[in-house]
Amino acid sequence: MKQFASFIRKEFYHIFRDIRTMLIMLVMPIILIILFGYAITTEIKSVPFAVLDRSRDEVTTRLTDRIGASEYFNLYKLLDSEEEAQDLFRQGKVRLVVVFPPQYASSPDAAIQLLADATDPNEATQLTGYATAIITAAKTDAIVQTMPIGIIPVVHLLYNPLMKGAYNFVPGVMGLILILICAMMTSVGIVREKEMGTMEILLVSPMKPVYIILAKAVPYLLLSMVNITTILLLSYFLLEVPIMGSLFSLVMVTVLYIIVSLCLGLLISTVADTQQAAMLISGMALMLPVMLLSGMMFPIENMPKLLQWLSNIVPAKWYIIAVKDIMIKGLSITSVLKETGILILMAFVLIAISVKRFKIRL
């Protein structure tokens, strides 16, 4: 036990004395949260739009006000001609133009035209969707006032009523940070000992290999917990993402995911011979799939079948689903049994492979 303690102390020295490691460990989570929170956002917020109002009556004015008053859109200009709309699009001044037909007030079923800049199709879809929602809402309000009978569709967005991007990326960033710290750092840490020749010294010592590995993992596990706390605090207070479910379940799932990540790091360390190789493998084999295939940035349902299938072996996918269910939907741990089961299975498979490989290699 004393051996183990002095070894863990050594690992902390390694971490605290290396500025690069410290930066990755402590600053990166904060930067990522802030980046995703404010810069790289897919949220629609204060988008400039213009209105070509051929009717200029009470109803269209009210609709224009209504769209402009929402937090999604800001009225840039009232237009006089279609050419003007073209110009504004070309100059990039507006991303949406609403066209009201003549005599709109007297023919409420007349179609309103929405023009959107589709160079970014995702955004265009979102913009028209939002605008449609606002117009529909305004129309139903008007209908309620004039005719009390009728079927009124009411749209409710569940779990994320404000359509905040943070609800999606906070679980994503957690999945990314943890795999980065646990897998990349552990693999680099172990490979460094191999590269420096100190691993041999440790292996001829009475210290059992399993303790060497455990001692490597413990500091990263602790620091990951610190990171998770930082991320959750930042997202709760800064980005106002609530934690609907039980914190305990969230922590349990997270610890499980950390264990999977540590095993991945161990596996990488048995494959890589140099620190650079370990870095590269972690980067290519872990970071990219987490970013691209976990559903964090791109919806998995829209991917080709092959990629959808591949995404199943990305641990982050299951972790992110579980975190969303617990944190955002407020479900209990029993409703994420499938995800936790898959993660446990992954952990066992990874441990089995890496322990086997570790023995052969050393």
Asked if residue 257 binds other proteins (CB under 8 A), the reply is: no
Smallest distance from the beta carbon of 6 to other proteins, in angstroms? Answer: 3
Nearer to other proteins, 14 or 164 (CB): 14
Answer yes or no: are the C-beta atoms of 172 and 42 closer than 8 Å.
no
Report the Cα 64 to chain-centroid distance in Å: 34
Smallest distance from the beta carbon of 3 to other proteins, in angstroms? Answer: 5
Residue in this structure with the two tokens 């959750």, named with its chain if needed:
232
What is the CB neighbour count within 10 angstroms for residue 113?
11
Rounded Cα distance, 77 and 102, in Å: 19
Smallest distance from the beta carbon of 28 to other proteins, in angstroms? Answer: 21
Asked if residue 197 binds other proteins (CB under 8 A), the reply is: yes
Asked if residue 202 binds other proteins (CB under 8 A), the reply is: yes
What is the CB neighbour count within 10 angstroms for residue 349?
13
Query: In this structure, which amino acid lies at residue 239?
Result: L
Binding mask 142-181 toward other proteins (x if CB under 8 A, else -) reads: ----------------------------------------
What is the CB neighbour count within 10 angstroms for residue 16?
12
CA-to-CA separations, 312 to 38, 294, 297, 301, 361, in angstroms, rounded: 30, 9, 16, 12, 29
CA-to-CA separations, 254 to 6, 151, 212, 227, in angstroms, rounded: 27, 45, 23, 11
Sheet containing 47-53: give its strands across. 73-79, 47-53, 96-100, 113-116
Smallest distance from the beta carbon of 195 to other proteins, in angstroms? Answer: 9
Asked if residue 200 binds other proteins (CB under 8 A), the reply is: yes
Nearer to other proteins, 95 or 194 (CB): 194
Stretch that binds other proteins, among 105-113, 169-177, 205-213, 223-231 (CB under 8 A): 205-213
Smallest distance from the beta carbon of 360 to other proteins, in angstroms? Answer: 11
Question: Which SS3 state, helix, strand or coil, does residue 50 take?
Answer: strand
Q: Which two tokens stand for residue 42?
A: 């897919």
Nearer to other proteins, 12 or 348 (CB): 12
Smallest distance from the beta carbon of 312 to other proteins, in angstroms? Answer: 38
Q: Considering only CA atoms, which of 166, 152, 170, 216 is closest in space to residue 190?
A: 216
Smallest distance from the beta carbon of 16 to other proteins, in angstroms? Answer: 10
Among 161, 206, 299, 304, binds other proteins (CB under 8 A): 206
Q: Under 8 Å CB-to-CB from 115, ≥6 apart: which residues? A: 85, 89, 96, 97, 98, 99
Smallest distance from the beta carbon of 240 to other proteins, in angstroms? Answer: 41
Asked if residue 274 binds other proteins (CB under 8 A), the reply is: no
Asked if residue 198 binds other proteins (CB under 8 A), the reply is: yes
Q: Which of residues 3-42 bind other proteins (CB under 8 A)?
A: 3, 5-7, 9-10, 13-14, 17-18
Among 203, 247, 284, 352, binds other proteins (CB under 8 A): 203
Answer yes or no: are the C-beta atoms of 114 and 101 closer than 8 Å.
no
Nearer to other proteins, 4 or 298 (CB): 4
Number of residues assigned to the chain: 362
Q: Could you tell me how many residues of this chain bind other proteins (CB under 8 A)? A: 23
Task: Give the residues lining the site for other proteins (CB under 8 A).
Answer: 2-3, 5-7, 9-10, 13-14, 17-18, 196-198, 200-207, 362
